[in-house]
Structure 1
Amino acid sequence: GRAEVNEPNEFKSFGEFLYSIRFRPQDSRLLSFEDTLSPDELRGYEMAMARMSPEEREQSMGVGAEGGFAVPDQFMDTLLQVSPQDAIVRPRATVIPAGFPPDASITIPALNQTAAQNVYGGVTVNWIGEGATKPETDLELLYVKLTPHEVAGWIRTTDKLLRNWAAAGPLLETQLRGAMIGAEDTTFLTGTGVGQPTGIIGSAGSINVARAGAGAIVYADLLNMLLVTRPGFTYVWIGSPDIRGQLMGIVDPGAAGTLIWQMNAQEGMPGILMGKSIFFNERSPTLGVRGDLILVDLAQYLIKDGSGPFVGISSNVGTDFIENKTVVKVFKLVDGAPWLSAPIPQENAAATALTAYAVLEA
């Protein structure tokens, strides 16, 4: 008789995974989100869905009726790997895993350290004399709500390249991964919070530092930014590549013409500015625009991951079918927001507030 051919348990590469979605959609190795859950996780997921209203359920399920195929675990490390060289915010932020249901909103408590309270969130300390009444104090909490939003990246490729999955896999994976990382990093810095994460620049907890001169950066700008940051945090500078010339030309205010950052034309550009690491980021606003330089503790930025990534493939976009082209789409859900809702008043000078996000104004 004819020998049975056993289908392998895993895909040989990310390219073969994409090939199967496009040309072998019945491949048993292709899994939906629900297929990736254990029986206990699936029961918990279904119970959580049942408790939600239809609107909440639609929002929480996230991927919608068309769904997509879950990226196999064997490719998750490479597709989701984000190193400090690839991205600036995520590797240094506080990241909350998806959980169950993965796309549901989550509320994170934060101390109300605004000027209306104090640095201890409303706690008052008094020395109490013998027999005196102890005063009552209340701990004031604020809440940061995070609801993962869908972010998607897509690329158009020829069917011929997709059939050559050994070659297509590394190319498509690299391009999609880089684009998704870039979209995240940009939005974590400048996002509006409407249908996307809330960015650091322009957030309620940031302090805008007035620029000494339009379209320029001088030593006084750096000093003033440093002076509005709260001690005890771990800060990094993030700036547009456009500002490099400004930094390299910074001079000592007390000794005109004496360079104090780029000392000469022989040595390389320093990676430290006022004792803090500096990263030049193409996703930052350009020179002269608010946020072209910021000084932040990225651990005070919250990221909530949702479900995904998922992969969807279609050849029915425009003329793709007759041109033998395919659109490959990768999508996942994520949200982010600054942890601080307002600058924090100094303990001994409540009228003067400090922040974890100093932003150079336009």
Structure 2
Amino acid sequence: DPNENADRNNAQGREGARFSSLGEQMLAIAGAANPDRRGSADPRLIFAGPTGMSEGVAADGGFLVQTDFSNELLQNTYEGGEIASRVRRIPIGPNSNGIHMNGVDETSRANGSRWGGIQSFWTAEAGLKRDSTPKFRRIKMELDKLTGLCYATDELLQDSTALESWLRQAFADEFLFKIEDAIVNGTGAGMPLGFLNGGSAITVPKEANQLAGTIVAENILKMWARMPARSRKNAVWIINQDVEPQLYQFVIKVKNAAGTENVGGIAAPAIMFTPPGANGSQYATLMGRPIIPVEYAATLGTAGDIMLVDLSQYLAIDKGPT
């Protein structure tokens, strides 16, 4: 009985038989999707339909990617990104679609606001001690789904090694682009909220009489001054590549005792901008922090063309791919 054999094969597949590679599993899925072979699906496949009515029909349901493969694919995506690898990531359990956390309700660094209202006082001997009540806020984060789809050619389907290599690179690169672009520019509607659109973004205005489409040393110094001191050790500069020529031309203008600007100015200190390769670093640096050129930054002369960000303060949740 073909049905009895299929049931037996499925039971054996659920008992722990595993694919040796992602490419091998993709070939098995492609074979199971062929109407002529639907009754002889590889028993190692894990069936996952949208309902309990048609788990064994690939056209109605689907196949979960084996756990070790999917975890590795996600890990490759995060590790490959200069932005995604720096955010604080919290894994979510398989039966959850979000997380609730308590956060400190700190709105400023003034007395009475630090750590949500914890206060301390210099108190004279035998003086009264005043109480303080900290405040907290509820943080709610929900998952958004990023979906990928591709079609494999007949040639790829004949070679599990080539198929796996192509799938890993293609999906990892595409997912990385979408994730990092959302971290920077996301609207928060059906996707993550990017830091440019969140409440923490601070815009430093250009200098008086500064030409359009330029970046001057004073812009950098003022951005650095606005970065909280405790975040400077983790901060990175995220730029569009068309910003780079500006960084090699920094000049700090000086004024004489009469307040007249000296002609030509002086070169910016070496500590402000260091080209890549100096001191053995793969990154150029500004104020000692790495400069990361990305596709997601706005073009020169537009808000977001150069950003100073402590990405460890950006919180992300994920539950891995299927």
TM score, norm. by length of structure 1: 0.66
Q: Which runs of 4+ in 1 moved over 3 A?
A: 5-8, 65-68, 82-85, 127-134, 257-264, 266-270
- In structure 2, what is the Cα distance between the partners aligned to 1:263 and 1:81? 31
Mapped to 2, the partners of 1:216 and 1:66 lie a distance apart of 55
Find the aligned partners of 1:195 and 1:270 in 2 and give their Cα distance. 34
Q: Which has the higher contact order (CA 8 A, sep 6+)?
A: 1
Q: How many Å apart are 1:18 and its aligned residue?
A: 1.3
Give the drift of 1:141.
1.4
Gapped regions of structure 2 (runs ≥ 5): 1-8, 34-40, 50-58, 255-263
Q: List runs of 5+ in structure 1 lacking aligned partners.
A: 35-64, 311-362
1:68-217 superposed matches below 5 A = 68-76=62-70, 78-82=72-76, 86-103=80-97, 105-115=98-108, 118-128=113-123, 134-212=129-207, 213=210, 214-217=212-215
Change in CA separation of 1:160 and 1:84 when aligned onto 2, cut-off 3 Å: closer
1:313 maps to none
In the alignment, the residues of structure 2 paired with residue 118 and residue 163 of structure 1 have an alpha-carbon distance, to the nearest angstrom, of 64
Superposed displacement of residue 127, structure 1: 4.1
1:309 maps to what in 2? 321
Tell me: CA distance 1:157–1:299, structure 2 relative to 1, closer, same or farther (3 Å): same
1:75 partner letter: F
Assess if the C-alpha contact under 8 Å between 2:185 and 2:296 holds in 1. no
Alignment check: 8 A CA contact 1:201 1:291 kept:
yes
Mapped to 2, the partners of 1:288 and 1:154 lie a distance apart of: 36
SS state at 1:28 partner: coil
Instruction: Measure, in 1, the Cα distance between the counterparts of 2:282 and 2:266.
Output: 18
d(CA) in 2 for partners of 1:113, 1:244: 36
Contact 2:47/2:63 (8 A) holds in 1: yes
The Cα of 1:152 is off from its aligned counterpart by: 1.3
Deviation at 1:124, TM superposition (A): 2.0
Larger proportion of helix:
2
Taking only aligned residues, the RMSD between alpha carbons, in angstroms, comes to 3.3
Identity percentage of aligned residues? 29
Question: AA paired with 1:298?
Answer: L
Alpha carbons of 1:68 and 1:274: their partners in 2 closer, same or farther (altered >3 Å)? farther
Q: 1:164 to 1:94 in 2, by over 3 A?
A: same
- What's 2:265 paired with? 256
Is the counterpart of residue 10 in structure 1 residue 18 in structure 2? Answer: yes
Distance 2:151 2:314 in 1: 34
Q: Which moved more, 1:226-235 or 1:72-81?
A: 72-81
Contact conserved, 2:79 with 2:85, CA < 8 A, in 1?
A: no
TM-score under structure 2 normalisation?
A: 0.74
Task: Show the counterpart of 1:231.
Answer: 229
What is the number of equivalent residue pairs in this alignment?
274
1:276-315 correspondence runs (5 A)? 276-306=289-319, 308-310=320-322
Structure 2 match to 1:318: none
- Cα distance in 2 between the residues matched to 1:147 and 1:174: 28
Deviation at 1:269, TM superposition (A): 9.0
Q: Distance in 1 between matches of 2:76 and 2:307?
A: 22
Partner of 2:46: 31
2: CA distance, partners of 1:227 / 1:150: 37
Distance of 1:237 and 1:149 partners within structure 2: 27
For the pair shown, which has the larger CA radius of gyration, 1 or 2? 2
CA distance in 1, matches of 2:137, 2:60: 37
The residue number in structure 2 matching 1:340 is none
2:45 maps to a residue whose letter is L
User: Quick one: which amino acid aligns to residue 151 of structure 2?
Assistant: R
Question: Does the 8 A contact of 1:111 with 1:140 survive in 2?
Answer: yes
* Distance across 1 between alignment mates of 2:274 and 2:83: 29
Q: Which amino acid aligns with 2:243?
A: I
